[in-house]
Structure 1
């Protein structure tokens, strides 16, 4: 084969993915959320929706709009923007954000859950596999979203700020994106998870530390990495019908 020829990854069917996952007999399985469990970018979506709902001041809304434009232009990092997208709620009551996150998820994200992935998660849950969610989206939305998958909030690693006496602060606790996702897993005692599911380059670090990597709905950049590493991948039916809109790769 010529060195210029591109090696293509194997595309699994839902049945093939399920067989590979169950054969691996994982004790612990880790899932990214946006683009992996459901279609679209719930972090960005919630931010826009919450600004439109008037949850933060007009000046904060204008500032966040400027920052996000800078992020899209490559002038603000993924780590920075994901942190700032949580910090903008400083001063609000956490209960208000939890209620808002539930409303947003149920109306705008729930209909876009990948049915085939949800069915696989259900089988893992029934097999008593310990399920975790790792995401750079804010923890309020992620916790709400993964509840129906049987993932408790204590097993959610997501963008988070400290909450004191029920009030949200601007002090960051964690922003798991890129290499920080693998770091977050090591911090909770999972240095080599049995199975990891992710869809973008932001998930590559945790896919690499997994005993079994299962790319789901991979971005074009992750698909290139899959070919390099000999990983197969799964494309959910819903994603094929409507390609996800995910900020960045």
Structure 2
């Protein structure tokens, strides 16, 4: 579907002069006397329209992917390269993980396995030290990448009393550090996580929420209907499909195509564009 061209009328959230493609798609999620309910299509709303369309749903439980959805870029992969250069793990572990990552990039290692190994590679390090390292990275080496409208949306959902969960296949230390920007508490984070032994990281995984692992984690831990879900890649499709209302945010081309097929709302944050 072609991206909708917006004029000043379509940018006004109070106006009933909404472009047809907006009205058709929002018929799935927003009740309005100005809307035509005859069809369902994917849409490309502006920031204000996107935020308002979600808030009007008043979701009681919402799930957000993080990398590429709440912020630009993949914090997990970026952190991986950064920490190897910093010597956070031993040279031996670093060499092995670089080789493993190269295999992953050519398709010989699965997404879930790679994400899991990016956590268990820290075996023997303390949880507190990893949290300090992740916080340093997110504040000093990954700053300014948060999507301002997504931060605004999360804050307003908090204000509505929505129970918000962050679901990510990146390591939990990074997500815990990043969620401070969104006021999402640690007990509402489902990320790649290793078991601890007296505060020391082990090579045993608790979970790796990727692909089908995302709805699995939500069912096991949250145990409630997910009213709204937000993601940017094919690894989020299962989570989006389980939700009452799905939002493809800053989607990769494959997720954008899937969203169009399902009539899910498609939103590209300000400063991003279709790929």
Aligned with 1:14 (options 41, 47, 59)? 47
2: distance between equivalents of 1:228 and 1:48?
A: 36
2: distance between equivalents of 1:45 and 1:183?
A: 26
Quote the residue 1:215 is aligned against. 248
TM-score (norm 2): 0.83
Quote the residue 2:216 is aligned against. 183
Quote the residue 2:234 is aligned against. 201
Q: Which runs of 5 or more structure 1 residues have no equivalent in the other structure?
A: 1-6, 244-249
TM-score (norm 1): 0.91
Q: Which runs of 5 or more structure 2 residues have no equivalent in the other structure?
A: 1-39
Quote the residue 2:110 is aligned against. 77
Quote the residue 1:117 is aligned against. 150
Aligned with 1:161 (options 194, 210, 234)? 194
Quote the residue 1:129 is aligned against. 162
Q: How far apart are residue 191 of structure 1 and its match?
A: 4.9
Q: How far apart are residue 239 of structure 1 and its match?
A: 2.5
2: distance between equivalents of 1:109 and 1:118?
A: 16
Contact 2:41 2:264 in 1 (8 A): no
2: distance between equivalents of 1:157 and 1:35?
A: 16
Could you give the per-residue CA deviations for residues 180-231 of structure 1, whole angstroms, max 9, x where no partner exists? 1000000013353011011001000010000111110000000010111011
Contact 2:251 2:266 in 1 (8 A): yes
Q: How many residues align?
A: 236
Across the aligned residues of Structure 1 and Structure 2, the Cα RMSD in angstroms comes to 1.5
Q: Which has the higher contact order (CA 8 A, sep 6+)?
A: 1
Tell me the SS of whatever aligns to 1:239: coil
Contact 1:161 1:169 in 2 (8 A): yes
Answering whether residue 55 of structure 2 is matched by residue 35 of structure 1, we say: no
2: distance between equivalents of 1:68 and 1:192?
A: 36
Greater helix proportion = 1
Tell me the SS of whatever aligns to 2:271: helix
Answering whether residue 191 of structure 2 is matched by residue 170 of structure 1, we say: no
